[in-house]
Structure 1
Amino acid sequence: MKKLSAILFVIALYLPAMAQPGANHQVLALTGAKIYPSPGAKPITAGVVLVQDGKITAVGSAKTVKIPSDAFVIDGKGKVLTAGFWNCHVHFIEPKWLHADSLPAAQLSKQLSDMFGRYGFTHVFDLAVFDFSNLLALRKRITAGEVSGPAIMSVGVPFTPPNGSPVYIRPLKLPEIGTPAEATAYVQKQIQAGADGIKIWAASPNGHEVVSMPLDVARAAVSAAHALGKPVFAHPTSDAGVDIAIESGVDILAHVAPDDHRPWDTATIHNLLRHKTALIPSLKLFKWELLRIGLPLDNGNLIATALQQAGSYVKAGGEILFGTDVGYVTDYSTTDEFDFLAQAGFSFDQILTALTTAPAKKFGLGAQTGRVAVGMDADLVLLEADPATDSKRFADVACTIAKGKIIYQAGK
């Protein structure tokens, strides 16, 4: 019995690799799908994409692209192909990620597939972790090819103002920083440890009140991060938090801020645009939180306010990045997020931009990923149906490929 168990474990460990193109640089061909090369580009009907050594080597119609006879073929007839998706607001704080340096590779690959690959994500940005060294260990194993999963960027461990640890992470606490010098030192330390950005709570609910970060502290954090070429994210919570984030020079709001139940007016939108502040709406969070604590979905017009804020900003031409707060939100499905974005007035091209080209450009990878084009990394998503007719179809993923490697395939 022990021998049989050992054999089954070995099979499970190597099963993901068995679904990949051969190790001898075999060409992967995705055929028959409707291809959206990039937002706004003319789609290719019944197209072909060839991949070799992790790069896209050909894109075109079946009439113009010759498929090698020994290619590993994925039939995409009746499906839709786009560039791989980014989720710019995730967390690796669930207990299942502990001991990432020693957990079996097959187990980690399965967890990553269930959380990210299943929904088309080839890149994710972690916006708060409690054990940064553990996440770095996971990232190292993915980069080495030992574990199959998306490319991971991270802000490491974020910080709040004094007495500002968020009520919803109790009994845990985040670092609380109250002076510009402390903020500068902490930012430098995080980036030296491997952080790809920094996150602050511009305003944080501690369970008794919403505590705002002193503007000089926020400015010091932003200045230190920018000096090292890294972006800064802010959790705004309130109108005051939005103002602090903008005035301190924060690059990205991790959420809209409906807690004060006030729509964003023309002045707020103008200020965000003037400072080129990007927004991750993370709209599903508010529905999930209300359901989690047993409140009605129309409670204080929270969701309606969130939709107005996101919709007003995208309509004004604001930069939008896709994110779901998954990992804190334990329901991994992206269907609600796409539905809410559509309700807020986002078009197909605006959603596709937020998923692909906008984050790739924002984080310095626009020449490498985010489009279906020759020479780009083979980060690709095959969808069951066309999201141009229904945004929720962005969630119906048939296959996800990261740098030429299949990290999710429906039914496999």
Structure 2
Amino acid sequence: MCTHDHDALPAPDAALARRSVIAGAAALAGIGLLPASAAAADSRSRAPESAHYKGQPQSPAPMIIEGGTLVDPDTGDAVEDAVVVLVDGRVAAAGDRQSTRRAVASVADRATVVDATGRFVLPGLVDAHVHANALEDARLILSHGATTVRSGSSSFYQDVALAALPRWAPGLSPRMHAAGLFVSPELGDSVLADPALAPLAALSDGVREASDLAYLTRNNVKRGATVIKTRANPRAGLAEQDPLELVYGQEQISAIVAASKKAGVLCHAYSAEGIDGAVRAGVRSIEHGVFVSEATLAEMAKRGTAFTPTLSGIASMADSTDPVLAERGREYTPVLQEAIRAAAEAGVTVVAGTDSFGTDVTPIGTEARWLAEAGLSPLQALRSVTTAPARLLGVERSVGRLVRGAQADVVLLDRDPLADAAALEAVSAVVAQGVLVREAA
């Protein structure tokens, strides 16, 4: 629900050179706090521009995960006593013991073996809306099973820096689809993230004109953003703001979409007018979307616009000590639950996003459970954290399923997610980029 300010972090040193912005963002993200297990990787990847660094990225040892029930979110099928073989950061084989025996034999003498007996084996989960500004944020998100995430923006391009880590330090951070800076009228201290943004600090009414919106969007892409985050309405999680006011209309959002090129635009929106304008402007997904109309849902289905309701975040406002936020939580939650049911019935793709910010991390499995309680079937809830967001991000060939050639991201669950979506909260082990980052004692 974006209860946070995106410019709340301290500004980088004023002497930070333009070509070192990404390195500075990495420093802000807390790379100095690496655990001992990642120290070697850190020592080889501190160069400001890794493209010119002479070292070689790490290659994790092969891994065999055996004995569990392999679940395919795409088909809903399950294979008992299955084996998954991971080699060089990819799935070399996945299936029953007979079909995987050659792959097992090829690495058996050097592979780490994980016993998954009694557990359910899934691809790494996807959280389609997070705000990770530091390594600790990324670690917590990863520990709950989200091995791929889409950023909902950061303050100083920390998400762009985090996106570079998996190649050099596997298992340290989820695969990040970075948004860079929030395309919003008020940039605050985020204007210091890049000297190229200095002209925007002089705008008396903030970043509102189409040419300025396009400039900021293009700068995000230039800095390494692969998705763009903007807004139609203010934040619901700040009591002093009215989340139904219009910030950007269709014409302004169209300028952002046009400048984003191949980067899909996600739009923070609450009001029926704001949501509809964003959809017609061509955004890739609507975030929050509480008061979406039936007509707009029909348009979303027609256009293939996805819906990321962040339901658990909206519902959590009901527990706020602030009476305004508590009332919004109580009012918005049932409306959003109905919107989710209507979206599913209309054929709109519903994807799960927690809107986690900093170390205040909601497990992605919790969001899936909330979506199921709103009306999605267990299989639909499972797809909302696997195949659906993978397609939204354009990585469906490598994320969301455990098939040959897919990324080496695996989650083990203690319960069957095809029977109960709440099982997605029962994460007992996480493999990210071929590295075991969590295993229950």
TM over 0.5: yes
- The match for 1:142 is 166
C-alpha distance in 2 between matches for 1:321 and 1:119: 17
C-alpha distance in 1 between matches for 2:67 and 2:288: 38
Q: Is the 8 A contact 1:38 1:372 kept in 2?
A: no
C-alpha distance in 2 between matches for 1:335 and 1:372: 18
Q: Is the 8 A contact 1:281 1:323 kept in 2?
A: yes
- The match for 1:240 is 273
Q: Is the 8 A contact 2:59 2:89 kept in 1?
A: no
Aligned in 2, Cα 1:87/1:235: closer, same or farther, shift over 3 Å?
same
73-82 or 198-207: which moved more? 198-207
Q: What is the aligned counterpart of 1:44 among 68, 79, 82?
A: 79
Q: Counterparts of 1:328-343 in structure 2 under 5 Å?
A: 330-334=360-364, 336-343=366-373
Q: What is the aligned counterpart of 1:125 among 150, 154, 177?
A: 150
Q: What amino acid is aligned across from residue 313 of structure 1 in structure 2? A: A
- The match for 2:426 is 396
Aligned in 2, Cα 1:78/1:127: closer, same or farther, shift over 3 Å?
same
Q: Is the 8 A contact 2:153 2:182 kept in 1?
A: yes
Aligned in 2, Cα 1:220/1:41: closer, same or farther, shift over 3 Å?
same
**Does residue 324 in structure 1 map to residue 350 in structure 2?**
no
Aligned in 2, Cα 1:32/1:240: closer, same or farther, shift over 3 Å?
same
Q: What amino acid is aligned across from residue 286 of structure 2 in structure 1? A: L
What's the offset of the Cα at 1:143? Answer: 2.6
- The match for 1:72 is 112
- Per-residue CA deviation, residues 158-210 of structure 1 (Å, 9 max, x unaligned), is 12347999xxxxxxxx9932211111111111111111111111122583542
Runs (4 or more) in structure 1 with deviation over 4 Å come to 23-26, 161-165, 294-300
C-alpha distance in 2 between matches for 1:284 and 1:406: 28
Q: What is the aligned counterpart of 2:184 among 131, 135, 160?
A: 160
Q: Is the 8 A contact 2:230 2:268 kept in 1?
A: yes
Aligned in 2, Cα 1:345/1:50: closer, same or farther, shift over 3 Å?
same
- The match for 1:105 is none
Q: Is the 8 A contact 1:288 1:329 kept in 2?
A: no
Q: What is the aligned counterpart of 1:211 among 240, 246, 249?
A: 246
Aligned in 2, Cα 1:275/1:303: closer, same or farther, shift over 3 Å?
same
What's the offset of the Cα at 1:328? Answer: 6.0
Q: Is the 8 A contact 2:250 2:277 kept in 1?
A: yes
Q: What amino acid is aligned across from residue 118 of structure 2 in structure 1? A: G
| 3-state SS in 2 of match to 1:387 | coil
Q: Is the 8 A contact 1:400 1:409 kept in 2?
A: yes
- Per-residue CA deviation, residues 249-285 of structure 1 (Å, 9 max, x unaligned), is 1111121224xxxxx5532321221222111111011
What's the offset of the Cα at 1:298? Answer: 8.7
C-alpha distance in 2 between matches for 1:147 and 1:78: 25
- Per-residue CA deviation, residues 97-148 of structure 1 (Å, 9 max, x unaligned), is 2xxxxxxxxxx4x6533x222211111111121111x333333333311761
Percent of counterpart pairs with the same letter? 23
Aligned in 2, Cα 1:292/1:330: closer, same or farther, shift over 3 Å?
farther
Q: What is the aligned counterpart of 2:36 among 13, 27, 40?
A: 13
Q: Is the 8 A contact 2:411 2:429 kept in 1?
A: yes
- The match for 2:290 is 257
Q: Is the 8 A contact 2:82 2:94 kept in 1?
A: yes
Q: Is the 8 A contact 1:49 1:56 kept in 2?
A: yes
C-alpha distance in 1 between matches for 2:99 and 2:164: 39
**Does residue 386 in structure 1 map to residue 409 in structure 2?**
no
Q: What is the aligned counterpart of 1:91 among 125, 131, 134?
A: 131
| 3-state SS in 1 of match to 2:259 | helix
Q: What amino acid is aligned across from residue 437 of structure 2 in structure 1? A: I
- Report the aligned-residue RMSD: 3.1
Q: What amino acid is aligned across from residue 269 of structure 1 in structure 2? A: L
Q: Counterparts of 1:44-63 in structure 2 under 5 Å?
A: 44-63=79-98
- The match for 1:366 is 396
- The match for 1:33 is 68
Q: What is the aligned counterpart of 1:112 among 138, 143, 156?
A: 138
What's the offset of the Cα at 1:300? Answer: 5.0
- Per-residue CA deviation, residues 220-245 of structure 1 (Å, 9 max, x unaligned), is 111111xx211011000211211121
Unaligned residue ranges in structure 2 (runs of 5+): 1-32, 41-57, 190-200
Aligned in 2, Cα 1:139/1:65: closer, same or farther, shift over 3 Å?
closer
| 3-state SS in 2 of match to 1:204 | coil
Q: What is the aligned counterpart of 1:180 among 191, 202, 210?
A: 210
C-alpha distance in 1 between matches for 2:250 and 2:231: 12
Count of paired positions: 368
C-alpha distance in 2 between matches for 1:381 and 1:49: 11
Q: What is the aligned counterpart of 1:224 among 259, 267, 277?
A: 259
| 3-state SS in 2 of match to 1:186 | helix
TM-score normalised to structure 1 length: 0.81
C-alpha distance in 2 between matches for 1:242 and 1:344: 20
- The match for 2:224 is 194
Q: Is the 8 A contact 2:284 2:305 kept in 1?
A: yes
| 3-state SS in 1 of match to 2:408 | coil
Q: Is the 8 A contact 2:76 2:379 kept in 1?
A: no
Q: Is the 8 A contact 2:63 2:113 kept in 1?
A: yes
What's the offset of the Cα at 1:57? Answer: 1.3
TM-score normalised to structure 2 length: 0.76
